[in-house]
Amino acid sequence: MELRKRTTVHNESIDEASPLQIDGDHCEHTNGNDIDINSIDLTEWEIKKLKREARKKKWVKRLNICTEKLHALIWVLVAAFVIYKTNFFRVIWEHPYRNIIFLDICVIGLTIYLVMVVYLTLFLPIFRGIENWEEVYPNVIPFLSIVGVVTFFSSFLAFFPIWGFLTVPIILVIFMGYSMSLTFLPGGYFGTLLALLLLFGMSATSHYIPHEGHWQNLPSTQEL
């Protein structure tokens, strides 16, 4: 917040436009110096008000973090439910209605995306010492965006004969669930490895689901 009058803190002058970051009994000036709030020439009521606002900001920050985690958890649970009900990763490989051509395009696009992620987030920083790959390879993001769009539409066309118009919400829910699950993973290289392992773990769920999936268009007896 801003102090509207000139005050003296440890024999240093603070102008009325100088913003102070209040944190408990301390506040931080824009120059980075830690200032004891009790040493500022303020009334007791003003000090209590500053402390109260600091505590309020802390609780608001904690509440926002809890809200974000709860939101992410809901997406993860909904995605897990959809994967279980559809037996997604088994049906897309075994269902006779799947479109093989677009499924191959989807697999190729996903493979390119994963290879690029490993190359950019693991290989370049560890073996080449390049952390800011966005500046070194500025065309990567547009390229991956195109790959992502092609992969999404090819997956929709590949799975549309299986689930019909439910294909779009199924794919989006699973994608959002996986994306939100990353918020619970640590950062850095270890977090990237866990994200890749989580993706492969999701694909292995078909071995543990005791049914062949629901909500799908079943093949006729002649086709079987």
- Which helix (H) or strand (E) segment holds residue 167: the answer is helix 167-181
Using CA atoms, how far apart are residues 76 and 53, in angstroms rounded to an integer? Answer: 35
Question: Which of the residues in the chain have pLDDT under 70?
Answer: 1-41, 218-224
pLDDT tens digit sequence for 127-154: 888 888 888 888 999 999 999 999 999 9
Report the SS3 class of residue 148. helix
Residue 215: what residue type?
A: W
Domain boundaries, the chain: 7-58, 71-207
Provide the whole-model pTM: 0.73
DSSP, res 166: G
DSSP 42-60: --HHHHHHHHHHHHHHHHH
Rounded to 5 degrees, φ, ψ at 18 are: -80, 115
Q: Which residues of 130-155 are buried (b: 16+ CB within 10 A; e: fewer)?
A: eeebeeeeeeeeeebeebeeebbebb
Using CA atoms, how far apart are residues 41 and 43, in angstroms rounded to an integer? Answer: 7
